[in-house]
Chain A
Amino acid sequence: MIASNQTFIIAAYAVTWVVILAYLVRLVRKGGRARAEYERAVQHQREERQS
C-alpha cells in the first residue's frame, strides 16, 4: 500500500514543478517581449516629439 503511494507522491511534486516552472518561463518570456515593445514605443514617442 505504501509503495504504490510513491507514484502519487512523485506525481504531486512533478505536477507542482511543471506548473511553477512553466508559469515562470511564460512570465519571463512575456516580460521580455513587453519590455521590448515598451522601449520601442517610448523611443517612437520621443522621436515624434522631436520632429
Chain B
Amino acid sequence: MPASTPSNDPGPAPPPRTSLWLGLVSVSALVAAQTHAILTSPPDADMGHLQKIMYVHVPAAWMTFISFFVVLVFSVRYLWRRRENDDLLAASAAEVGATFNGLTLMLGMIWGRPAWGVWWAWDARLTSTLVLFLIFVGYLALRAFVDDTDQRARWSAAVGVIGAINVPIVYMSVTWWRTLHQPPSSPATLDAAYTLGLRLNAIALLLVLIYFIRKRYEIARLERATEHAAEAVAMGGS
C-alpha cells in the first residue's frame, strides 16, 4: 500500500515515454538484416535454402532467453528492494518473452516439417523451448489470477526466480534425454559463412526486443499510476 502523500508532493515520477522512433528504427534494422542475410547467404550442403529460416528462428530463441534473464534479474531486485517498478518491468519482460517464445516454437516447427518430415519430433531444443513457454504462461496466469497488487508482485517475483533457476536444468535434462535416443536435431552452430548474417539479425531483433519491453513497461507504469491516482482521490483528496 503506498504511503499517503502530503498535498504539496508532486506525486510519483510520471511513467516514461517510449519513442515510436525506436520502434521504427528497430523494425527497419530488422528488415535490412533479413534482406542482407537472405541475399548473401549461400545454400547449405544438406538443407539448401532451408537454412535461411535460421536467421529468424535462432535470434527469436536468443531473445526468449534474454527476456527470461530480465525477468530473473528484476524478480530478484523486487524481492530485495520491494520497488513496484521492478515488478512491472519483470512482468513486461515476461509478456514479451512469452511472445518471442511462441514465435520460436512456430519457427522451429516450420523448419522441422521440411527438414525432418514431421511437425514435431521431441527434439531437445524444441522440447525445452516448449517447457519454457509453459513456465512463462504459468507466470502470466498467476498474475492474472491474483488481484492484490502487493501479493501479485511478491508471488510473481518468487515464481520468476524459481522458474528461471529451472531453465538451464530443463535444457540439460531434455538434451540428455534425447541424446540417448538419437533423434534428428536442430542445426547447432552454423558455418562461418552464416555467422555475420546471424549476428546482424540478432542485433536487429534485440533492438525490437528492447523497444517492446520498454513500451510494455510504459503501459504497465501508466496503468499502475492511473490506479494510484484513483486510489488517492477515493481516499478523500490527496
Chain A interface residues (CB < 8 Å from chain B): 1-2, 4-6, 8-9, 11-13, 15-16, 19-20, 23-24, 27-28, 30-31, 34-35, 37-38, 41-42, 44-45, 48-49
Q: Which of B195-231 contact A (CB under 8 A)?
A: 208, 212, 215-216, 218-219, 222-223, 225-226, 229-230
Contact with A along B86-113 (1 / 0, CB 8 A): 0000000000100100110011001101
Number of interface residues of B (CB under 8 A): 45
What is the chain A residue whose CB lies nearest that of B234? A48
B232 CB–A CB distance under 8 Å: yes
The interface residues of chain A, by DSSP majority, are classed as: helix
Q: Which of B1-48 contact A (CB under 8 A)?
A: 7, 11, 15, 18, 20, 23, 27, 30, 34, 43, 47-48
Cβ–Cβ contact A27 & B215, under 8 A:
yes
* The 9 A-B residue pairs with the shortest CB-CB distance in the complex, in nearest-first order: A34-B222, A41-B229, A2-B48, A12-B53, A41-B226, A38-B222, A16-B56, A45-B229, A27-B215
